[in-house]
Amino acid sequence: MSHPVLKDAPGASVCMLGNHAIVRGALEAGLQFFSCYPGTPSSEVGDLLAQISKPAGVLFEYSINEKVAVEVAFAASLTGARSMCSMKHLGLNYAGDPISTMPYVGVEGGMVVVSAGDPSAITSPNEQDQRHFSRFLYYPVFDPATPADAYRMTRYAFEFSEKTRLPVIMRPTTRVCHTSGMVEYGPLSETRNEIRFTKNPPRYVPIPVNARRMRRELIDRFALAEELLGRSDFFPRHGSGTMGVIGSGVGYAYASEILNELGLFDRVSLLQIGAYPIPETILSEFLASVESVLVVEELTPYVEEIVSLNAFRHGRSIPVYGKNSGHFPVEFEYDPDMVEDAIRKFLQLEPRTVVEVALPELPPRPPVLCSGCPHRTSFYLARKVFGKNTVYVNDIGCYTLGYGEPLHSCDVLLCMGSSISQASGIARTTGKRTVAYIGDSTFFHSGLPPLANAVQANDDITVVILNNYITAMTGFQPSFSAWDSQYPDSSNNGQKDRGIVLLDAVKGLGVKEVFSVDPFDEAQTLDAFKKAKSGKGVNVVICNSPCAVHRVRVEPDGNRAPYIIDQDKCNACSLCVRVLGCPGIVVEDGVYFIDASMCDGCDLCAYVCNRDAIHQVEVREHA
Amino acid sequence: MHDNPKNGDFLLRILLAGTGGQGVITAARLLSEYFVRKGDQVLSAQLHGMAQRGGAVQSTVCVNSGISPALPRGGADVVLGCEPVEAARALPYVSADTIVFVNTAPIVPFVLSQNYVLESGPSEYPGLHALEKSLRAATLRVFPLDATKIAQDAGSLKTLNVVMLGCLFGSGVVPYPSQDFIDTIMVLAPPNLAETNTAAFKMGVEFAESLNVVEQVS
């Protein structure tokens, strides 16, 4: 049975995830090429396309990083293909170089860059407002409030991109990406753009003489974008009052529902800002009809400042409230209560009645490395050798969970691929060997240049590559270290064994001292770490062991027998819990035991135990 | 698309709470698909981030409610708490009108064991009575059940989420016959679990029906 997103059923009402609604919109627009690097909250866009790209006739790739994803998709667009790529907000920063000049050169086939935002930094090291790319680099930016918006905006965006020759940014936030809402299907596109590359170097080569011409054209094309958006239906207006509320993104959804529930649409006019640049006329007409404005938008006072500027230019001396006035905080996500409070304050209504509920103190459930995770073993063994005074620089991935108690394996962190370069900087100034931890996917993403850089500088660093053969934290996308059979039909064109051997890659960059070990072979791994510690210059220890969660899913005999603590031998010394932080080991009333349903059957706790009290449950083979 | 609910349509905001692995997100998906098939407008939000195996999970299913993906304080009509602490974590969304079904079988967070050993914070799981009391302070409509045991009796721990969905239907707040939902399970859930799921669902329905929840409410 084909996937519901491929259903050719115009008029069908479907409840879909915001990220999937983007895919449907793109399919209806005749998507031909797609590339991505996964990152929460964007990952489901690529994961769905990975499943359906073949029947949908879309060329698909999980790219090595976002810069490459943008570049291949842009080049595909130059051949006429309607192309899309997706990533999280930080991924677009990584692609900052190509995206800066793409609007200059311009597209042929329509191109949509999905860059999902993460207000409140729920799964990111920062929160940032992608809408600034509109004025910063001349991108039309779409700002959906709902999955239905995400769908219709994406469907519209390709043709719009072709008319203006501008690549566009689709910026959903977590509350749109991960919300399922009603989408009414339109027809799937029956035609596809013709693929043809016509040589025209002055058009495609932004050397300075051409770039200056392109710069002038860009201003005209951006003005056209504003004009076209002015005729779109992404700026709906509701209500008839003279108090103005302007909302963007999920802030609009909250405001709309609250105004509706409180029955305020006779006092209030609500304007949705669904895209940027905001058409000047839409805004000035709205401002001419209201006496006061409240702007509801997350992250930065972006619309708020445009509104103030527009009012000033048109001689409208009306108050503009929002972040600057203290109606909303500058930082973090909004929620319905926050928006209701601001609306009540704006309209001088009674404050919301709040029934205070006494919350008992509840234990948190912080994310931890899974039981059986090979990273835990690597961290534990490396720390045994390098000790507590060595600086451990970590990177972006599950292994960031080496932070804090009890593994203490993350003293410094910044961004994708930064572990190696930061270790270089620390080792060079302190004169002390520094350890960098980086996963396989992140290493290929952005770890290759800093490793070559460290080799060139002969830095005293030990790079530990935690190779679990998968991009685990974002949802088990394939990694370049094992481009195996997970998505054989789409991402891999059916080929197997295309993985890059990490050992060869590292040696190819000039690293002389490389160890490739299985972290669950503790003796071999300890030996490698010891040699690395006493080495000179750059050395690399590659710890190869499949992700525990993924292994159980894909290997038919992936389930291993659990371990058990022999209560006669256990003296409750607490060592296993104190140094490992494995969620499978539980203490109740001072008694240590292993939760068999959680235990993955790795042997690390048995290895750590001084009393030989931990053993694997014997599995009797059926005769 | 942004229209108000049609006249006569019921409005129902359900919050499902539990821990990673209890099937909260699957249950939300089943419910969403069910109401869509009934012709209702559904908005369902997954609140997962770093949550993985053992993390706290909350999912909402709002039927005919509007376009806001998040609940306001006290905004849940029904809370299905698959775990006691996680039910209590949903308290901000509970009002005096909210119906709360809460599974009484705890999943003890690993962090408590670590806190015990490292003496780095609270190491005791909160008392079940205290948790129930805090829920009852917010609403009188709190219905505890050992849904884990019911699921095991039905044949699989994995049907815990379906037991909780049975409670929803048995409570009388869904204006459709509960048999309808069994048809949805048959279509959408894995075929090898169809029988177990059906049994678990019926046991949940029976439990809630025996309480006369709606009578207690009105």
CATH number of the domain encompassing residue A464: 3.40.50.970
Residue B217: per-residue pLDDT? 55
Residue A307: CATH number of its domain: 3.40.50.920
> Which residue of B36, B53, B72 is in closest CB contact with A336?
B72
Joined tokens for residue A208: 């300075």
DSSP state of A445: I
Residue B212: per-residue pLDDT? 76
Same domain, A244 and A297: yes
Q: DSSP characters for A160-188?
A: HHHHHT--EEE--BHHHHTEEEEEE--PP
Same domain, A107 and A136: yes
Task: Please return the burial class of B28, using the count of CB atoms within 10 Å of its CB with bins 0-12, 13-18 and 19+.
Answer: buried
Same domain, A391 and A484: yes
ipTM summary value: 0.94
Residue A493: per-residue pLDDT? 42
Same domain, A399 and A449: yes
> Which residue of B49, B50, B67 is in closest CB contact with A253?
B67
Residue A499: per-residue pLDDT? 67
Last residue of a domain, one of A197, A230, A263: A230
> Which residue of B94, B95, B108 is in closest CB contact with A586?
B108
SS3 of residue B210 by DSSP: helix
Residue A484: per-residue pLDDT? 47
Q: What is the 3-state secondary structure (H, E, C) of A276-296?
A: ECCCHHHHHHHHHCCCEEEEE
Q: Report which residue type is found at A415.
A: C
Under-50 pLDDT residues of chain A = 484-497, 622-623
Tell me if A335 and B72 make a contact (CB, 8 A cut-off).
Answer: yes
Same domain, A290 and A214: no
Residue B5: per-residue pLDDT? 45
Tens of pLDDT, residue by residue over A371-393, are: 999 999 999 999 999 999 999 99
Range of the domain at A36: 4-230
Of all residues in chain A, the one with the smallest CA distance to B139 is A357
Residue B7: per-residue pLDDT? 39
State which H helix or E strand residue A33 sits in.
strand A33-36
CB-based contact, B5 to chain A, within 8 Å? no
Last residue of a domain, one of A230, A262, A292: A230
Cβ neighbours, 10 Å, residue A498: 12
For tokens 């005999």, what's the residue? A557
Same domain, A178 and A243: no
Same domain, A544 and A578: no
Tens of pLDDT, residue by residue over A209-261, are: 999 999 999 999 999 999 999 999 999 999 999 999 999 999 999 999 999 99
Tens of pLDDT, residue by residue over A302-340, are: 999 999 999 999 999 999 999 999 999 999 999 999 999
Residue A174: per-residue pLDDT? 96
Question: How many structural domains does chain A have?
Answer: 4
> Which residue of B66, B117, B122 is in closest CB contact with A361?
B122
Of all residues in chain B, the one with the smallest CA distance to A333 is B70
Residue B51: per-residue pLDDT? 52
Under-70 pLDDT residues of chain B = 1-8, 48-53, 214-218
Residue B2: per-residue pLDDT? 34
CB-based contact, A365 to chain B, within 8 Å? yes
Same domain, A411 and A537: yes
CB-based contact, A263 to chain B, within 8 Å? no
Same domain, A450 and A405: yes
CA distance A373 to chain B (A): 12
A-chain CB neighbours of B74 within 8 Å are 355
State which H helix or E strand residue A448 sits in.
helix A448-457
Q: Considering chain A, what is the average pLDDT of its residues? A: 94
Same domain, A421 and A300: no
Residue A583: per-residue pLDDT? 94
**CATH numbers and ranges of domains, chain B:** 12-116+135-217 (3.40.920.10)
Angle between helices A336-346 and A249-261 (to 10 degrees): 60
Last residue of a domain, one of A536, A554, A572: A554
CB-based contact, A446 to chain B, within 8 Å? no
Distance CA A381, CA A407 (A): 10
Same domain, A430 and A513: yes
CA distance B117 to chain A (A): 6
Interface of A with B in 539-558 (CB under 8 A): 549
Residue A552: per-residue pLDDT? 85
Same domain, A331 and A401: no
Q: Is A83 a domain residue?
A: yes
Residue A573: CATH number of its domain: 3.30.70.20
